[in-house]
Amino acid sequence: MKVMRAIALLPIIGALCVAQETPTFQVERAAGGFRFTEGPTWSKDGSLIFSDIPNNRIHRFVPGKGVEVFRENSGGANGNAFDEHGRLITCEGENRRITRTNAKGQVEVLADKFEGKRFNAPNDVVVRKDGNIYFTDPAFGKSVDTRELDFYGVYHITPKGELQVIARSDKRPNGITLSPNGRILYVANSDERVIRAYDLDRQGAASNERVLITGIEGVPDGIRTDDKGNLYVACAKLTVYTPEGKLVRSIEMAETPANLAFGDADYQTLYVTARTTLYRVRLNVKGSPQQEQ
């Protein structure tokens, strides 16, 4: 694997706005020199996987060591997530498919069509601990001109490999995540600038669609939850909402954030992909156990 030298950590002070206290967090620049970073996800081997979409690569960042290329010719990889067996689930936007990569690097296609038509451009993905996979399929840029489906979708792949559509829309879904108990699915919609919520049953089926958060500043992209159920949204800045959808804080970033993931051994570091750079910020709360495979 090609190894890239890590960039020295450069502190950037992020303003944190909270109702009763106003602490500051140190936002660190962990690695840079990319074109557009996306899809961060923490691996149980102690590394962070993330995509550089225009360069058609998936990278691995190891704290204290730096960045190496995990996969070349990634099919325009965007969102990533690990399943309960440590296999990497990837949204390949250019290839218009969802794939699974095992420990040997073998890539398996999980889904590339719905009702006989190719996906638009799978964007982001989350995996519940019981193996249920959820992903969004919008279309941005040139992928708009090659659409076969007449809607933008939110999908569910069951542990048995069955593909189900959760939502069809003329507005584009983007980031996707789960509540700590895995019973609520959250989906960001970039066109409407809202976060929707869905209830999930034991089999992973979704119901009770509702709008949880409105009036988001900027375009909402990646989203994550901590172990208290708070939602972290990458938009014009990094914003944090309560489980009820109330804005409680925001962190200014040097570049517009695209996506985020909790990581490190204690799961209290938030890694943020923001345009050309990978950032990280230490928090006083752990990430949701649903994203800790």
Interval 216-228: pLDDT, tens: 999 999 999 999 9
Question: Percent of the chain scored above 70 by pLDDT?
Answer: 91
Angle, CA of 247, 240 and 52, to the nearest 5°: 140
d(CA 135, CA 139): 13
- Helix, strand, coil in percent for the chain, rounding step 5: 5, 50, 45
pLDDT value of position 1:
45
pLDDT value of position 16:
40
What confidence tier does 143 reach under pLDDT thresholds 50, 70, 90?
confident
pTM (2 d.p.): 0.92
pLDDT digits (tens, 9 = 90+) for 250-282: 999 999 999 999 999 999 999 999 999 999 999
Res. 288: pLDDT tops 90: yes
Alpha-carbon torsion (167, 102, 160, 117), positive or negative: positive
What confidence tier does 25 reach under pLDDT thresholds 50, 70, 90?
confident
Q: Which stretch of DSSP H or E encloses residue 184?
A: strand 184-189
Tokens 């190496």 belong to which residue? 68
pLDDT digits (tens, 9 = 90+) for 3-17: 444 444 433 334 343
d(CA 45, CA 68): 14
Domains and their CATH numbers in the chain:
3-291 (2.120.10.30)
What confidence tier does 22 reach under pLDDT thresholds 50, 70, 90?
very low
Alpha-carbon torsion (280, 286, 289, 293), positive or negative: positive
Convert 218-236 into a string of H (helix), E (strand) and C (coil). Answer: CCCCCEEEECCCCEEEECC
Res. 234: pLDDT tops 90: yes
What confidence tier does 58 reach under pLDDT thresholds 50, 70, 90?
very high
Average pLDDT in the chain? 92
